[in-house]
A and B are shown apart, each in its own frame.
Chain A
């Protein structure tokens, strides 16, 4: 889809149709919005292009007013993912799988996620997944790919995926931290890759400063980004803040996802980053997933946010 094929009127008409998604094409560092209708027209995306989905902040175990039925919205989110036009190549879960790090919460989460029609699920923990300190329940179940270190990388369809963990060593100001060991690993991990390799980084807490008074950031993320700036396309996918915030810096696109459980207030709009209660009939509009498409040509990654309703 070329941007020149769409007049401004077409774009506005599509957006006015109550469309639910936002599609951005990132090519060579330039982010350009395009309209996306709710039931995606398959012709809009070239066939054979792999599709990844991001789900985040499922908070299994939460029972507050902001969402008295978290299993219900998580099930609906899984259904949404399963009814998309194309089966995803893989699914990323960017953490806070559970609410209180309890064994039965992890068991139930794994059960719900096993209904996903995806061949691979890759996870990183949120701070709600490691409340006990060492994160025993999380690492017992999900620690394999990283040998219990929390960080790892893998390749899929020509894209290099990097999973980072920034919830184990909080700084006193409440920001997340990657730590020297993980940063040294990252430098070595990407050193041999050609700059045209598309990179997708995923971690729970934002890897840029969204709002530091609420801990929405990672203290040493700049060092990580330093190792990635030479690449032509870097997409950073985070969760934690239960809303979509995005930033483009050169060839790096930063993007946070909605939660599948409950929203949070916008930065600074309240006493702290706790659950935000909205009228029940509006809740599904505040929850959702992110779909990530790799274009066959020139190393471009497209992001699309799809709400639950």
Chain B
């Protein structure tokens, strides 16, 4: 194979890799769908996602927390520090939740 052809193949290959990698990242936006429990707050307090996506709540407080849906749709167990809970939202809607141990902690997932 000539050097020029080899270089073209290499460029096309790397462009393909980048686009493939990008689409892989787009399918798994793990950081995008995360709610962090820290200092007795949900962060962000309001998170917008698309139907079919999964949200992961992670507790970063030394104090255990829970994630309990207002409508009774989901309930985590006790989340110790560094523990996580995930839930997949299939239907559009607005889903409020609290920590059942510290109910002044409140958040909402907006599913479009």
Interface size class of chain A, counting residues whose CB lies under 8 Å from the partner chain: 20 to 34
Q: Are B64 and A215 in contact (CB under 8 A)?
A: no
Nearest A residue to B75, CB-CB = A133
Residue contact A274 to B61, C-beta cutoff 8 Å: yes
Chain A CB within 8 A of B104 CB: yes
User: Is B63 part of the contact surface with A, judged by Cβ < 8 Å?
Assistant: yes
The interface bits of chain B over 61-94 (1 if a CB of A lies within 8 angstroms of the residue's CB, else 0) are 1111010000000010110110000000000000
Chain A residues near B100 (CB, 8 Å)?
Answer: 127, 131, 133, 170
Shortest Cβ gap from A109 to chain B (Å): 15
Does B39 have its Cβ within 8 Å of any Cβ on chain A? yes
Q: How far is the CA of A128 from the CA of B81 in the complex (A)?
A: 14
By a CB distance below 8 angstroms, the chain A residues around B112 are: none
Given B61, B64, B102, B106, which contacts A100 in the complex, CB threshold below 8 Å? B64
The distance from the CB of A281 to the nearest CB of chain B, in whole angstroms, is: 21
Q: CA–CA, A133 to B61, complex, Å?
A: 21
Chain B proximity of A24: nearest CB distance (Å): 31
A28 at the interface (CB under 8 A from B): no
The answer to whether the Cβ of A275 comes within 8 Å of any Cβ in the partner chain is: yes
Q: Which of A66, A131, A271 sits near B64, CB closer than 8 Å?
A: A131
Separation in Å of the B106 CB from the closest CB of chain A?
8
Which of A99, A132, A272, A273 lies in contact with B77, CB distance below 8 A? A132
B62 adjacent to A272 (CB under 8 Å)? no
Nearest chain B CB to A102's CB is how many angstroms away?
8
Chain B: minimal CB distance from A222 (Å): 20
Contacts of B104 in A (CB 8 A): 172-174, 213, 215
- B62, A173: Cβ atoms closer than 8 Å: no
Docked CA distance A127–B63 (Å): 12
Q: Which residue of A lies closest to B76 (CB)?
A: A131
CA gap between A65 and B62 in the complex, in Å? 9
User: Which residues on A are within 8 Å of B, measured CB to CB?
Assistant: 64-66, 99-102, 127-128, 131-133, 170-174, 213, 215, 271-275
The interface of chain B, by Cβ under 8 A from chain A, is 39-40, 61-64, 66, 75, 77-78, 80-81, 98, 100-106
